């Protein structure tokens, strides 16, 4: 029994390292995307960056939870679960608000023929995320199956979603650099809205986030 507990703790520590990678990347991704969005006046980059901020908060909470489990501090888990549910719902409403903001700003951009400037920093972020997120997600899923963690698996699904968003961002930025179509940034930002709404709904209802009681 003691050996099984030790093995589980070792695997949780592997999960912790994966979450550290996620936290560091999401911090860089959010900061870089938002700064690039301001410089390039890009709604597409701003939407991607704000989504990264929400995913960063989710990753931080899951790291905290796994850290407590690795240290066998089970008495704090119930309090953490209640906090996770509240933060998850708040994140969901933030994503809904972000969706409304993106729709309104994109419509304004289309009405006034707003054209975003090219952003090579944003392009670099998109390439790294598009290639790296699927690899990170697969690693999380493998560990989640071994330790039986719905929380980590839910976080892996968020990582996969980030990968999808990265491809939308990448395609939008490349086309903008090549053709400079004035309407592209606004239209590409609107493409992100269904993903944001889906993430928001899942965060509120706890369907695919890191807020499960069966970690």
Q: What is the pTM of this model?
A: 0.82
Map out the domains of the chain as residue ranges: 2-205
Measured CA to CA, the distance from residue 207 to residue 113 in angstroms comes to: 39
Average pLDDT of 127-145?
93
The predicted structure's pLDDT at residue 142: 92
pLDDT at 4 over 90: no
Cβ count within 10 A of residue 10: 11
Measured CA to CA, the distance from residue 109 to residue 102 in angstroms comes to: 10
The more confidently predicted of residues 130 and 78 is: 130
The predicted structure's pLDDT at residue 209: 43
The more confidently predicted of residues 209 and 20 is: 20
The predicted structure's pLDDT at residue 57: 87
**Band of pLDDT at residue 78, cut at 50, 70 and 90:** low
């Amino acid at each position: 029994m003691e050996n099984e507990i030790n093995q589980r703790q070792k695997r949780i520590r592997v999960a912790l390292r994966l979450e550290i990678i996620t936290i560091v990347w999401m911090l860089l991704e959010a900061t870089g995307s938002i700064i690039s969005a301001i410089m390039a006046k890009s709604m597409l980059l701003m939407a991607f960056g704000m989504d990264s901020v929400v995913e960063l908060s989710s990753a931080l909470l899951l790291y905290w939870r796994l850290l407590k489990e690795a240290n066998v501090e089970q008495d704090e888990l119930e309090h953490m679960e209640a906090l996770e549910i509240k933060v998850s719902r708040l994140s969901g409403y933030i994503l809904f608000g972000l969706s409304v903001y993106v729709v309104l700003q994109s419509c304004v951009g289309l009405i006034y023929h707003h054209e975003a400037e090219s952003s090579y920093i944003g392009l670099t972020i998109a390439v790294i995320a598009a290639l790296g997120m699927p690899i990170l997600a697969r690693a999380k899923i493998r560990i989640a199956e071994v330790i039986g963690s719905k929380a980590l698996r839910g976080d892996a699904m968020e990582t996969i979603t980030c990968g999808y968003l990265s491809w939308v961002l990448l395609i939008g930025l490349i086309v903008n650099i090549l053709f400079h179509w004035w309407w592209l940034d606004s239209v590409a930002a609107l493409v992100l809205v269904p993903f944001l709404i889906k993430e928001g709904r899942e965060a509120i209802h706890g369907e695919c986030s890191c807020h499960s009681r069966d970690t």
